[in-house]
Structure 1
């Protein structure tokens, strides 16, 4: 069940409402709770959603049974409404409404619907425990995870600030906004803007709302565009030796959904291909970098870039042997870019992430990096490489085959990770740097590097064994 479907379910005919909620699958933005849930347990769920991108909690459903809330009585309902004040610090902001339903016994009843806003700071229980919504779970965070969340909450809410320049709903693309309203099943455009926190509590349009639905957001955010570049050779070159095609530099503007769509269409035309026989026995162009991999990278860049950083934009560079995607903003908090699969789910722009999920632009966000790895591995290519600079993150998707099973069996475990690290490095790396980047001991790094050298896959440059400037790099082919 996609995130926007819960809104449609909650506005369905009353006799159908309960059964449809029972069938609804819990996800990043939706959870069901029994009518007997305790205030403390509800508080944990409220915190988890507030610390992520917000969401909806329906109380009064247990398993396959529509319990309803009438039997619980007014005192019990009020206790749940006060769960935020009684159990969370600072109190989580939410709206609570009662929606009619038919309970399991056929009687008229109500469910409690909590709509949780993304928090502006980290929320915790009164005992100090902190939770984060990850997929369909409310996960308790350890100290370092909590610290990471603290570091990033300050910049996470830029998309929730009121947009400057006096822009209002009248400045939005009506066709795009109406399409979104239809997909979510909302009764009005203004209603869904409020529901997705795209309007402030004072009714002002947020940065996220303008970036997503503005007629031309670049009037207020001149660097909020995607630049696609296409090169003739595997190196960029400079000056007179610049390897850029004459028509190979295109700037794509517009609201985020349109920009992603237009950029994807252009990349698909320009992406490097090889001719191969299809099932019909005809020669067709086949992407050498999987489409699903670079598309997920593009979507992640547009959703998670730092829009508060002026003076930079998203760049997609297409080479004959690879695609590189660079976006402004670093990984959240304490994240180690050399271990991208360990990155926990956290959206810098929670409102933008939620709307893009509603529009089915991206898959389950937070699974994006994992999916990129899976797509590359599925076709036998080396793992994606992330490199973090002072103010940006670059993703490199290279059409280089992973080590064959025969070679991999001869090498120490973890040798592929060393190759991937050197492939993505901006310059040669010393043994100690390789060890630190991969979180292994220096002897382990030496063992893997020497084995790769014996296979002719890497080279060592140094004047002597004790040369402090000695470094490793990929072997030159040919």
Structure 2
């Protein structure tokens, strides 16, 4: 019980007071079913067990039947604490879009059950077909899975057996059949049945691919195996292959750093593996490394109707909720809806151009360019100290006083002041303060 009281609410867990009206449970039930499923603990409030009144137990047990359309599938158990009842409602991921009796639709995003607009609801409906593919049964048994993988994961989540672990993550259907998700995650070589489920890493020695005898391809590596292993092995290979450049680092020295921030391309790689459309045969994930950019292409479009010119407005949505959940348990993903935002943040912190997303009829491509976000001609006109200060402000990612800038760059305060004024004139930084003697005055990166 203590674990339920202190556990943080997230993508798969929510708490509600025992005094909640049964009809008000429709929102979290629908939100979980429309996302990856989850657990709803009813009878906990403000860090205390307030319990579900006996007269309300039946109504809460029937809430999914009475207030959701189509009825959300749930499994309900009871925990007693000092005579008080707490209902644990386990919500299964839905195979269709669920709404309330009034037509409202909700989706679990992080720790929030967010109401969807009609357009978002339509987009969700469009994507349900591909979302259910990972739940398709396969002709395998538990003994066919890699024992070292299943047993390690079983122990990590505290299940008493591998079968219980598979049930807990909806990797076995109601007829005791393993699913596509189970095979992709835990079979030693799922490519036997899904030959396109692999990552291909291509490295070129030119920014153009070239054709025929003019092709500039240097390396072509194919990474197979279960999905978690693919991500780790691909990350190792890419780390070795990404070109580096000299750049000011946190140590205050110029050191070789990857041309594209690791956290940015790694987030792109993980998103590609976890959220690709595995029902699309004949295509694979491509991670292409060029001297001044990387391109990550994943089979499958963004869910529903999406404007790729506004990627930061794309709502979090897991096409493969079971795969996403297991990868989150393994620490591969955080699943807080911050994937795209994190990529943008990492590129911005390094002062690089914003990520570019493109999609065609069957795939999405993410391009990360190793080009400065500042106009190269403008950058060339700046004094050397000004360019270093720009790097320092990006690395610190917070406002700094003139003295702090001078100390971090290792130059005199007047020199720092002149360089900062050059940056202000170029409209790259802003000074905020009441006067030149204001001790709280600081420089802000624009």
State the TM-score, normalized to the length of structure 2.
0.82
Residue pairs, 1:366-385, within 5 angstroms: 366-385=337-356
CA contact (8 A) 2:269 2:296 kept: yes
CA–CA separation in structure 1 for the residues paired with 2:263 and 2:155: 27
Q: In the alignment, which residue of structure 2 is the partner of 1:111?
A: 86
Could you say which residue in structure 2 is the equivalent of 1:423? none
Alignment gaps of 5+ in structure 1: 1-16, 409-454, 456-478
- Which residue of structure 2 lines up, in the alignment, with residue 154 of structure 1? 129
Q: CA RMSD in A?
A: 2.0
| 1:238 corresponds to 2:218 | no
Gaps of 5+ in 2: 380-425, 427-446
Residue 141 of structure 1 pairs with residue 112 of structure 2:
no
- Report how far residue 290 of structure 1 moved: 0.3
Is 1:207 aligned to 2:190, yes or no?
A: no
The question of whether the paired residues in 2 share the 8 Å contact of 1:357 and 1:365 is answered with no
Relative to structure 1, is the Cα distance of residues 67 and 388 closer, same or farther in structure 2, using a 3 angstrom cutoff? Answer: same
For 1:443-474, what per-residue CA distance to the aligned partner results, in whole angstroms no more than 9, with x for missing partners?
xxxxxxxxxxxx9xxxxxxxxxxxxxxxxxxx
For the 8 Å contact 1:304–1:347, the answer to whether it is kept is yes
C-alpha displacement of 1:340: 0.8
Q: d(CA) in 2 for partners of 1:183 and 1:373?
A: 32
Q: Choose which of 122, 132, 140 in structure 1 pairs with 2:107.
A: 132
* CA–CA distance in structure 2, aligned partners of residues 299 and 320 of structure 1: 22
Deviation string for 1:320-371 (max 9, x for gaps)? Answer: 1111100000111111111111111211111111111111101234210110
Tell me the CA shift for residue 285 of structure 1: 2.9
Q: Using the alignment, how far apart are the partners of 1:98 and 1:326 within structure 2?
A: 46
Secondary structure of the equivalent of 1:148? helix
| 1:38 paired residue number | 21
Q: In the aligned structure 1, how far is the partner of 2:376 from the partner of 2:360?
A: 34
Contact 1:353/1:365 (<8 A) preserved: no
Residue of 250, 254, 267 corresponding to 2:238: 267
Distance 1:279 1:350, change over 3 A: closer
Match of 1:170 in 2: 143
Does 2:350 match 1:358?
A: no
How many angstroms apart in 1 are the aligned matches of 2:122 and 2:70?
Answer: 17
User: Could you tell me the TM-score, scaled by structure 1's length?
Assistant: 0.77
Aligned to 2:265: 294
Using the TM superposition, give the Cα deviation of residue 142 of structure 1 relative to its aligned residue in structure 2, in angstroms: 1.2
Give 1:65 shift: 1.2
- Other-structure match for 1:25: 8
What's the CA shift for 1:67?
1.6
Is 2:73 the counterpart of 1:93? yes
Residues 149 and 186, structure 2, Cα contact 8 Å, conserved in 1: yes
Is the 2:324–2:335 contact (alpha carbons within 8 Å) kept by the matching residues of 1? no
Query: Partner residue of 2:423?
Result: none
Corresponding position of 1:179: 152
**Shift of the alpha carbon at 1:280?**
6.6
DSSP-derived class of the 2:231 partner = helix
Paired residue for 1:386? 357
Number of equivalent positions:
380
Hey, what's the Cα distance between the residues in 1 that align with 2:314 and 2:345? 15
Q: For 1:394, what is the secondary structure of its paired residue?
A: strand
Does the 8 Å contact 1:34/1:62 carry over to 2? yes
How far residue 109 of structure 1 moved from its aligned partner, in angstroms, is 3.8
